[in-house]
Structure 1
Amino acid sequence: MTPEDASKFIAYVLRHAPESIGLRLDMQGWASIDALVTGAVGGGRDLTVADVVRAADSGVKKRYELSIDGQRIRALQGHSTLQVSRSFEAAVPPALLFHGTATRFLDAIREQGLLPGSRQHVHLSADEATAVQVGQRHGRAHVLEVDAGRMHALGHAFHRAENGVWLTGAVPPEFLSG
């Protein structure tokens, strides 16, 4: 399994479908690395402990966190709503944040705003380059600017995950441009 394939597989399991390999997450999203590897191998995936550690330590996105003892792993954010209950401290966002999306979603976004879908939060980037990368995963990228300063001033809560991703419940259309 390539490092990218391993990371995508781990993200899928930890964020959305731990049961697909018989894995159990605790309420904060932690899973035993050994159980993750055992479940993956039992499901026909060629995953090793080294692959898991490499996925946690690599990439600019820093999608995962290893426990202090190195025995457990969790996804930092992006969980489906039924999987994990993580709490993040409220934080004051920068005036502008960015959201990368595919152009085919723009009409719906302009009408409804940004919604978390199956996730617990809308994910926003502090820089435009990261938003472009995110948008390209789903097709031709388009970057939306989010007036996070005005949203926050009006009482919308923002949180910042350990990897720098900004999270909020939703972004109404009137706070979007671009």
Structure 2
Amino acid sequence: MNEIENKRISKFLSLILRHQPEIIELRLDENGWAEVNELITKSAKGRMHFSFEDLEEVVETNNKKRFAFNEDKTKIRASQGHSIAIDLALKVAQPPDFLYHGTAQSNISSILDNGIEKRSRQHVHLSADKETATKVGMRHGKPVILTIRTKEMHDDGIAFYLSANGSL
């Protein structure tokens, strides 16, 4: 599969597994898992064709590890970033002293007024390095990287969770 096709499938999976499974009438369980065969079949009916092998390649090559299979590869889910109510059963984690939040410059005044908000997502996602945060911020305009004093927040009782792809 070429890079363009891989990216097309990845974007489709992000939409379906994180935000709108109803587009193809896909059922996700309470933990966000979808049956792989159902996903492939219903995607094809919606004119998005890919094989199990294509799906494996997208999961294995995605640099952000956005998707994961269960142990026997009969189910798949998004690792984070859901706007739908699911329980990823994330583990509470001790954060490092600092993490980074990438955002667009257009969001800064709102963040300064209201703080960083999860909005329609279940959690605020932070990055371990400035490079990743910059890539996140660039998706919506000129990036601004905020340094978050996560150890202080954790010491004040705020819980941090580690997602399946290793992100806090």
Which of residues 109, 119, 122 in structure 1 aligns to 2:121? 119
**Equivalent residue number for residue 51 of structure 2:** 48
Q: Tell me how far 1:66 sits from its aligned partner.
A: 0.6
- What is the alpha-carbon distance in structure 1 between the residues aligned to residue 41 and residue 98 of structure 2? 43
- What is the alpha-carbon distance in structure 2 between the residues aligned to residue 41 and residue 81 of structure 1? 23
Which of residues 136, 145, 149 in structure 1 aligns to 2:147? 145
Aligned length: 165
Same amino acid, percent of matched pairs = 40
Corresponding residue SS for 1:2: helix
Letter in 2 for 1:49: F
- What is the alpha-carbon distance in structure 2 between the residues aligned to residue 165 and residue 40 of structure 1? 28
Q: Tell me how far 1:88 sits from its aligned partner.
A: 1.4
Corresponding residue SS for 2:87: coil
Corresponding residue SS for 1:124: coil
Runs of 4+ in 1 over 4 A off after TM superposition: none
* 2:23 is the alignment partner of 1:20: yes
User: Retained in 1: the 8 A contact 2:9–2:58?
Assistant: yes
User: Retained in 1: the 8 A contact 2:90–2:164?
Assistant: no
**Equivalent residue number for residue 67 of structure 1:** 70
After superposition, residues 1-40 of structure 1 pair within 5 angstroms as 2-40=5-43
Q: Tell me how far 1:146 sits from its aligned partner.
A: 0.5
Q: Tell me how far 1:6 sits from its aligned partner.
A: 0.6
- What is the alpha-carbon distance in structure 2 between the residues aligned to residue 62 and residue 17 of structure 1? 20
TM-score (norm 2): 0.94
**Equivalent residue number for residue 78 of structure 1:** 81
Q: Tell me how far 1:89 sits from its aligned partner.
A: 1.7
Letter in 1 for 2:140: H
Which of residues 101, 122, 129 in structure 1 aligns to 2:131? 129
Corresponding residue SS for 2:146: strand
1:14-56 CA-to-partner distances (Å, cap 9, x unmatched) read 0011111010001111101111111111111132222221111
Q: Tell me how far 1:120 sits from its aligned partner.
A: 0.5
RMSD, aligned CA: 1.2
* 2:92 is the alignment partner of 1:90: yes
**Equivalent residue number for residue 163 of structure 2:** 161
TM-score (norm 1): 0.88
Q: Could you list the runs of 5+ residues in structure 2 that have no partner in the other structure?
A: none
